[in-house]
Structure 1
């Protein structure tokens, strides 16, 4: 018998073993049952062969009080991301304000992320544990940044994301008078008054906090040391500082920060993390828009992460506005989404 004939004989035996499973005599149409079994076996084996897929854990925006993965804009983003990356996209829901306040939203997202990162869950979805991204936009970008910081400081977390991608994230409620808040206070989609309302309702229904935030007098002198982490005169690139003069904070009563300590909590304000907590964070993508009150939050985080040794890709949209990815009827939405997905494709 030649070598080629031997190979075919061995292959034939293996195929026969794979296909043939002797069903009990009582079964009708045993050969049809065997073919169904072959199809199921093939599906399982193909899943195993495809067990190196990427995954994106996405957190929607909406000011912590609205939004859902089922909304058309987020559903389309998830579908496009999954299709173009051949990835599993987990777009999660979480409880919303004003019924629920911080830290509920953070805890919902963090618990969901810890569940998703369990090895048996990743195996079930055919995901490579070394190719996972945590991402989010706006308030979802806040939550994505916060849970990533928490995860990388959690010694019990054995699996950690490779990268994080933050789309115009809200990262601090201490200084609501940065240049971007001043320049874009009346900008469509997200004026300053609405962003302040979102921040306030993230913590409480008490409108006195919103009033103090609008005048930028909601942080007491006892917490003055935290302003070093959000000092835009130190962390903004020069072109974004031009025409603006940094004034020392105007301190308010300590009553508000005592009643609502979440204002000063790094889980609500990722920019308040000190450098030791930023070191070791994963490679990061930050997207900012010129006409956005939250522009400077993202810019400051880019600077602080880079100062801490984190590799950061910063994409600034000169003609962009807050919520740009949420309007697929506009050309800018597709341009921004393409940049985001292209970066994921290259780095995840």
Structure 2
């Protein structure tokens, strides 16, 4: 097992965290290091949950685009991960906006502090008015009206985005960077990714990020195992409910054993 350590917000901002994780992965995937620790180069998985899942997804995309990395992960696995800060008004954000574990306002704060301590970005994100009109083409990658299953769209109306000023984007372009928002990757970038495991929870503001990624990966020809938990919320892999925790851990570990 390899644990990646990265510098934290609000002291450090993107892309520091991504670079920390990516540099660790580049080091770990070198032939000499794998041999030193007795790791088979054909049995490597990149995995993470929540913010760590964001970094794992972004780093894996970059690894498969990097010609200098000869040893690629065999599989990737994500547990209720954050994947985009473009549209913060998806059905899961609406339905779970006041969820105690991870509310919309808290998630927006986490997103904005990833890029800056300037509260202007947080305020714009909270009203979903932070993306400039010149970046409107990116919304196709997070268009939940076509990427979510019908049961999650039911009762929700997809509205055209209200664009924000270019000033925030010029100051903090990271929130539209694919290394911070892996869902913004085009199909060519997704097409070569490895076998994937995604766990999502119904009562989680990040639910739709995971669901949209499942759809986009599958549309790009990537084989995906999707474990959706109907009665859980963000942080389900905790010891708050030992039976649920054990069930989800067992499912995850069994998938790893079957595919590594």
| TM-based fold match above 0.5 | yes
Which of 152, 159, 172 in structure 1 is aligned with 2:71? 159
Deviates more, 1:120-129 or 1:100-109: 120-129
Alignment of 1:128-139 (within 5 A): 128-139=40-51
TM-score by length of structure 1 reads 0.74
Could you tell me which residue of structure 2 aligns to residue 292 of structure 1? 204
Residues 119-177 of structure 1: CA deviation (Å, up to 9, x unaligned):
11111111110010000000000000000000000011000000000000100001000
Residues 223-258 of structure 1: CA deviation (Å, up to 9, x unaligned):
100000000001001111000010000111111111
Residues 270-310 of structure 1: CA deviation (Å, up to 9, x unaligned):
00000000001000000000000000000000000000000
Could you tell me which residue of structure 2 aligns to residue 205 of structure 1? 117
Work out whether 1:330 is the aligned partner of 2:258. no
Secondary structure of the corresponding residue to residue 200 of structure 1:
helix
Work out whether 1:196 is the aligned partner of 2:108. yes
What is the CA–CA distance in structure 1 between the aligned matches of 2:4 and 2:210, rounded to whole Å? 23
Structure 1 residue runs of 4 or more that deviate by more than 4 Å after TM superposition: none
Alignment of 1:64-83 (within 5 A): none
Shift of 1:327: 2.7
Could you tell me which residue of structure 1 aligns to residue 59 of structure 2? 147
TM-score by length of structure 2 reads 0.99
What is the CA–CA distance in structure 1 between the aligned matches of 2:240 and 2:129, rounded to whole Å? 38
Alignment of 1:163-312 (within 5 A): 163-312=75-224
What is the CA–CA distance in structure 1 between the aligned matches of 2:249 and 2:103, rounded to whole Å? 23
Structure 2 gap segments, 5+ residues each: none
Shift of 1:328: 5.6
What is the CA–CA distance in structure 2 between the aligned matches of 1:231 and 1:286, rounded to whole Å? 19
Shift of 1:334: 1.7
Q: CA RMSD in A?
A: 0.8
Residues 184-220 of structure 1: CA deviation (Å, up to 9, x unaligned):
0011210101000000000000001000000000001
Give the length in aligned residue pairs. 260
What is the CA–CA distance in structure 2 between the aligned matches of 1:221 and 1:135, rounded to whole Å? 34
Larger radius of gyration: 1
What is the CA–CA distance in structure 2 between the aligned matches of 1:312 and 1:329, rounded to whole Å? 27
Secondary structure of the corresponding residue to residue 92 of structure 1:
coil
Work out whether 1:319 is the aligned partner of 2:245. no
What is the CA–CA distance in structure 1 between the aligned matches of 2:161 and 2:90, rounded to whole Å? 11
Could you tell me which residue of structure 2 aligns to residue 26 of structure 1? none
Secondary structure of the corresponding residue to residue 113 of structure 1:
helix
Alignment of 1:16-165 (within 5 A): 89-165=1-77
Secondary structure of the corresponding residue to residue 176 of structure 1:
coil
Which of 1 and 2 has higher RCO (CA within 8 Å, sep 6+)?
2
8 Å CA contact retained: 1:328, 1:334? no
Residues 28-47 of structure 1: CA deviation (Å, up to 9, x unaligned):
xxxxxxxxxxxxxxxxxxxx
Structure 1 gap segments, 5+ residues each: 1-88
